[in-house]
Structure 1
């Protein structure tokens, strides 16, 4: 945990990075459940001693955002597994298409965004046959909207934090393992075998391991 109000160079210093909870077997959702009561208390304010003034002060420190990689975000945003979810996106109600159908960013921009209130409603109406959440022009079962209890639902108890908005997109999986990977794969599919070998040679000379799974295969 780091103080969000500090300048970036100060925020990234080891002295300002605080280890709150860690476990080598528990998921991020299970860990969050164990500390959410403390986070709720910080939202309301905790009386602490200030060594600078020699007096007690009220410290209010709400959770502003969570930075993580996409798999960890997936656990916190309570999704069903991608293979079984019709609506797998944690940000919106984009309906999953067939494996051979490509999608673009505009496909997600044009559909209804998820909200904290709807996420609560879906989670706690999963056993009912129908619910009043009209997506795509039809009424569906709550279980159909791609959410499941994962431990991350504990974050819904916080007032300042919104799990549908305060988990910013992560660069690695979205760009390097997403757009860049697909672009490289498509580029290689258009190259002749001799061109592919030349490209592989150039990348090996660059001494990068990033393209080992792509170059040299068709």
Structure 2
């Protein structure tokens, strides 16, 4: 098996990939993550996942490189990481009683052959109606400022959900393991 490389510095993605009990290393790619004018959100995450994997191919020429990128979509608007309490509060207020769809782009690049599998896995969260006091209590407790949509699904963020729908709950955290397993199997990787 070719060595696995996760093209990410995300702690969340590392923890998810570790569930597969396969040895891997991590390296953070340096790419421009700008949204191109008129680019649909699905194409954005697929492009960025592929670019992250490709950015490391030169320095890792005999690897299976995993790239992933995620955006949250509320209505017709892409919402990213809030970075501040104020922006997180605004995002959660806008999401109250609404549905937020997370689009997670995934790429698996065999840097030896150049073969690259790319997909996008959607996952939708239907939010509870949230008042300002509840939002602020949540933000103080969990501080999800590095998370698209302003919540951590693997933590207290689940208390903000009314329901969820999608093919793979791990995609909500940032790395769709079910789809990744399919891609790894296509490359001949044996999953324990």
Determine if the TM-score, normalized by the shorter chain, exceeds 0.5: no
Higher strand share: 2
Structure 1 length normalisation: TM-score? 0.21
